[in-house]
Amino acid sequence: MADAVLFEFLHTEMVAELWAQDPDPDPGPGGQKMSLSVLEGMGFRVGQAMAERLPRETLAFREELDVLKFLCKDLWVAVFQKQMDSLRTNHQGTYVLQDNSFPLLIRMSSGLQYLEEAPKFLAFTCGILRGALSTLGIKSLVTASVAALPACKFQVVIQRC
């Protein structure tokens, strides 16, 4: 089993590299959004593959909540070696997943320092969640928010159309 820290290092480098490549020196919202969506797209493809590989002998999910629980437990354990701390829902298609010590943020600080930099480090994970949900048949929109490092919340809104 590979050391978890390898993924953390790789992820950090990924974010740093994408940001360094930004040709637009003006750190305006345009350039940043491009990199965030690239990161999220990468996470999406990874999430698709993970959702195919992980629930191997697990029997078919019967409802949405089961899928979300699978994400919080099995997917999070596979990627971050810990479970999600809490899952809340309004039973109308919105779920809030809360992680109180997110492994990709825990090395940075605990408090309010680096709060503006935090979203970059969450984009890839949002993509993983969205990709996994899409393979399991749920179209969704995933956003992340940080109030104070290293706790963060992922909000999943199911798109029904």
Partner 1 sequence: MAVCVAVIAKENYPLYIRSVPMENELKFHYMVHTSLDVVDEKVSAMGKALVDQRELYLGLLYPTEDYKVYGYVTNSKVKFVMVVDSSNTALRDNEIRSMFRKLHNSYTDVMCNPFYNPGDRIQSRAFDSMVTSMMIQVC
Positions in the binding site for partner 1 (CB under 8 A) = 45, 48-49, 51-53, 55-56, 58-62, 135-137
Do 118 and 54 contact (CB within 8 A), yes or no? no
Quote the least distance from Cβ 134 to partner 1, whole Å.
Answer: 9
CA angle 64, 66, 67 (to 5 degrees): 65
Q: What is the smallest separation between the CB atom of 77 and partner 1, expressed in angstroms?
A: 17
Residue showing tokens 């305006």: 28
How far is it, in rounded angstroms, from Cα 130 to Cα 138?
9
Rank residues 55 and 150 by Cβ distance to partner 1 and give the closer one.
55
**Residues paired with 95 in a beta bridge:** 89, 156
Alpha helices by DSSP H, 54-151: 64-70, 76-80, 120-135
Q: Which is nearer to partner 1, 51 or 104 (CB)?
A: 51
Taking the complex as a whole, the smallest distance from the CB of residue 49 to partner 1 amounts, in Å, to 4
Nearer to partner 1, 51 or 144 (CB): 51
Please report how close the Cβ of residue 45 comes to partner 1 at its closest, in angstroms: 7
Rounded to 5 degrees, φ, ψ at 97 are -105, 125
